[in-house]
Amino acid sequence: MCHRYLQVLSVSLFWTGAVLCNTVHVIVSGLVFLVLLHGGRNASSMPPNSLMKSLRYAVTTSFGSICYGSLFTAAIRTLRWEIRGFRSKIGNNECLLCCVDFLFQLVETLVRFFNKYAYVQIAVYGKGFNRSARDAWELFQSTGVEALVAYDCSGAVLLMGTILGGLITGTCAGVWTWITWRDRVIMVGSTAMLMGMVLVGLAMVVVESAVTSIYICYAEDPSLIRRWDPQFFNQMSETLHQRLQHRSARAREVLTQNQLDSHMQDTFHQVDLIKGSALFRSQKVKAHVMRHSDRSWISMQKVEELNPGAGYAQILGRNTSLPFVYTRENEL
């Protein structure tokens, strides 16, 4: 029973930590967006008390959306990373690749409605969580910035730092508990690890919020980033251009290969059909010739030679006149 309570409390602690991190996320995102909107580094025209206003919006009108999104965002993002890494290690196992692609598409659908970029929309526009996530993802896909977001490693690096901080905290607490109360090492160590992850995550989320806000600003109005840091804007634009070119080349390659495979399959299918119909027509003509053996102007050898050739001439697209056997077949 104690372990069940511990599990419930651990989930509650994890959710509370996620809510705290995402609250900071919304506050920082609103501030970063305001800084970029009001002149970048020379943001002298920012409205007064911007921090307090962002804090008030985060803990009042937007708090429900933050709590709702905190239930799913981290888990879905981690699952997406796991599947993406697993896909790169599958190789040529088509059956397993098909299953993983199905899971990946399912997770991509969930990401459309549960992603960390929704918090920027919540901070700036005050929308609900699902609508914010959908609008942010559609904005990325319509502008092509999704090609940058898909290969963004900042979240993974910050997550590793958060996990490392939690492990260090849990290890230190576990060693201390092992010296004092050995029967409570697991409980104290795991709780300390979760608390360490929450505290380190609160520090890491400031950097992550700034990164996500920059992506949203770049997708909505690239001139904001250009005014803030022209060199950084040029680097982002060049990287985005390279990603889009790479995707376009891969898409053309896959499309060409698929079209070629489809064309070959259709061609072979048509050949098989025409061969079958040619054989059927030959048998009909042969039977007709045998029933009318006194009409010596037709030759079964001629029928066998002309009928298959007519089928292949059709599939090759040649403008040949109908051979004798087709005319003869119409008379049967």
Digitized pLDDT (tens) for each residue of the chain, 332 residues in all: 566 676 677 667 778 878 888 899 899 988 888 888 776 555 556 677 778 888 888 888 889 888 888 877 766 766 666 666 676 676 666 677 677 777 777 776 666 666 788 888 888 888 888 888 888 888 888 888 887 887 778 878 888 898 999 999 999 999 999 988 888 888 888 889 988 988 898 888 889 888 888 888 888 888 888 888 888 888 888 888 887 777 666 555 544 554 445 545 555 455 455 444 444 444 443 343 344 443 333 333 433 344 443 333 333 333 333 333 333 333 33
Note whether 208 and 138 are same-domain residues: yes
Note whether 103 and 220 are same-domain residues: no
Note whether 35 and 54 are same-domain residues: yes
- Residue 56 has a pLDDT of 87
Are the C-beta atoms of residues 142 and 152 closer than 8 Å to each other? no
In a domain, 312, yes or no: yes
- Residue 170 has a pLDDT of 92
In a domain, 167, yes or no: no
Are the C-beta atoms of residues 152 and 211 closer than 8 Å to each other? yes
Note whether 94 and 213 are same-domain residues: no
- Residue 175 has a pLDDT of 92
Note whether 253 and 153 are same-domain residues: no
Can you give the residue range of the structural domain that contains 84?
75-113
Are the C-beta atoms of residues 214 and 224 closer than 8 Å to each other? no
pTM score, whole prediction: 0.62
Q: Which of 113, 139, 173 is the last residue of a domain?
A: 113
Q: In the chain, how many domains are there?
A: 3
Note whether 309 and 216 are same-domain residues: no
Q: What letter does residue 184 receive in the DSSP assignment?
A: G
- Residue 134 has a pLDDT of 86
Query: Which of these, 254, 248, 247, 307, lies nearest to 276 by C-alpha position?
Result: 307
Note whether 11 and 144 are same-domain residues: yes
> 3-state DSSP call for residue 2?
helix
Note whether 124 and 60 are same-domain residues: yes
- Residue 184 has a pLDDT of 83
Note whether 146 and 36 are same-domain residues: yes
In a domain, 193, yes or no: no
> 3-state DSSP call for residue 323?
coil
Are the C-beta atoms of residues 274 and 311 closer than 8 Å to each other? yes
- Residue 171 has a pLDDT of 92
- Residue 202 has a pLDDT of 84
In a domain, 87, yes or no: yes
Q: The tokens 């920082």 sit on which residue?
A: 28
Query: Which of these, 247, 248, 250, 224, lies nearest to 236 by C-alpha position?
Result: 224
In a domain, 265, yes or no: yes
In a domain, 23, yes or no: yes
In a domain, 194, yes or no: no
Note whether 13 and 121 are same-domain residues: yes
Note whether 105 and 142 are same-domain residues: no
In a domain, 241, yes or no: yes
- Residue 111 has a pLDDT of 66
Q: The tokens 């992850």 sit on which residue?
A: 197
> 3-state DSSP call for residue 93?
coil
Note whether 68 and 85 are same-domain residues: no
